[in-house]
Amino acid sequence: MYNTGSKNYNVALALLSALFFMWGLMTTMVFELSQEYKVVFSLSDKEILLIQFCFFGAYLLVSYPAAKYIDSYGYKSCMVFGCTTSAVGCLIFFLAAEMYSVHLLFASTFAVGAGITMLQVSANTYVALLGMRGFGASKLTFAQAFNSLGTFIAIFFSGSLFMIFGRGGVDSLLNLDPKEYKGASVLYVEAPYLVIGVLMLFFAFSLMFSKIPHLDTSRFKPLNVERPRSFIFQYKQVFFGAIAIFCYVGAEMSIYKHLASMYSKQDNLIWLVPVYLGTAVAGRFSGAAILRKISPRKCMVIYPIGALILISAYVILQNHSSGVWILACTGFFNSVLFPCIFTMGIDGMGSHTEEASAVLNMSIVGGAAVPFAVSTVGLNYGILLIFICYFSIAYFGLYGSRYKKRTNFY
């Protein structure tokens, strides 16, 4: 245990679960509104791809500074800073939409991504370390379930509520000329960012004045019994954990994009993405209970195998109507992978925990790199890349996370 007091443990977990929900909502809004960006900012497909790289690039560039910020000012301060930065990003987006500025759009996307990166580095680590170490994966899975719930709700949030709010109803679209349509689209994209920006400021103030337990890892040495390491990547669990998260986020986003492209072409497949995200929600809530009984290491083998079985079934049945629905169910088996990889990746790192967390979060850039690679090589070779991703994750569970240590929970 790294916390200096457990009196406010439940309060902290409840507050952070709500925060996880908010950044899940925000992350999905960035991608779900991409078609509207094309209208408002007159973007090409390549420029839409640049928006995604701006968002995921923040993970690569901000994660390590966020870890150093935690070392100096603590977890709570970093979470407050992350919420505030995301809120500022939402404000910049409002200015970008009003001015039709592509450069401000890129800046706002990076700012939102930077804020979420700070939250990922701080909040994920905080939840995993708070309380008993042996239940870190279960606690983080529970909190991440609300993140998935926010992601799930966002697809309806952006697709219906704000369409009516911003455009005056779907039926009115046919009566708009191009200029009026563009003006209505501005309102459509501005509204969710304004609402979420205000909510993120609310969470920043809530965290600032909360009395959540203080965590201090500086007094603890890593549990590795081998000679001290000079670089963070020399710790086996961190090195292979980073590869596993790169592969996990990459595979997850590749499947998401494939499903989204399919339902955009066929109206009868409109529920594909909701099923994919909904099974992830179910998987995380159930996974939080399962991880109380089954070790993360075992889940790290069972769940990737389950995903591989469903993807194999899709390959066999891809010309059949049921094949794509089977693929959508892989969300369930993706659900516990990030919490398990993250918890095992920072396991026993002691005073180096924040630095390890930064490395793991930098690997989330795989969410941009792997889908780009899959789309470049085509579906057949893309499926092979996704297979390699899941095998890499299973390898981390079986071997990559093992190291000689003084105590062993996993």
The answer, as to whether pTM is greater than 0.85, is: yes
Domains of the chain: 1-213 (1.20.1250.20), 229-401 (1.20.1250.20)
Burial 182-207 (b: 16+ CB within 10 A, else e): bebbbebbbbbbebbbebbbebbeeb
Name which residue leads in pLDDT, 404 or 251. 251
Q: Check pLDDT > 90 for residue 277.
A: yes
User: pLDDT tens digit string along 343-352?
Assistant: 999 988 888 8
What is the pLDDT at residue 166? 44
Dist CA 233 CA 231 (whole Å): 5
CB–CB of 346/128 below 8 Å? Answer: yes
Q: Check pLDDT > 70 for residue 137.
A: yes
Dist CA 120 CA 94 (whole Å): 24
Name which residue leads in pLDDT, 239 or 1. 239
How confident is the model over 357-381, as a mean pLDDT?
A: 90
User: pLDDT tens digit string along 385-399?
Assistant: 999 999 999 999 999
How confident is the model over 329-346, as a mean pLDDT?
A: 95
User: pLDDT tens digit string along 21-32?
Assistant: 998 988 887 777
Burial 278-294 (b: 16+ CB within 10 A, else e): bbbbebbbebbebbeee
User: pLDDT tens digit string along 209-240?
Assistant: 988 888 888 777 766 656 566 667 778 889 99
Q: How many residues in the chain?
A: 410
Q: Averaging pLDDT over each range in 41-45, 134-138, 170-174, 389-393, which range is the top one?
A: 389-393
Cα–Cα distances in angstroms (integers) from residue 150 to residues 22, 329, 374, 392, in the given order = 6, 18, 27, 28
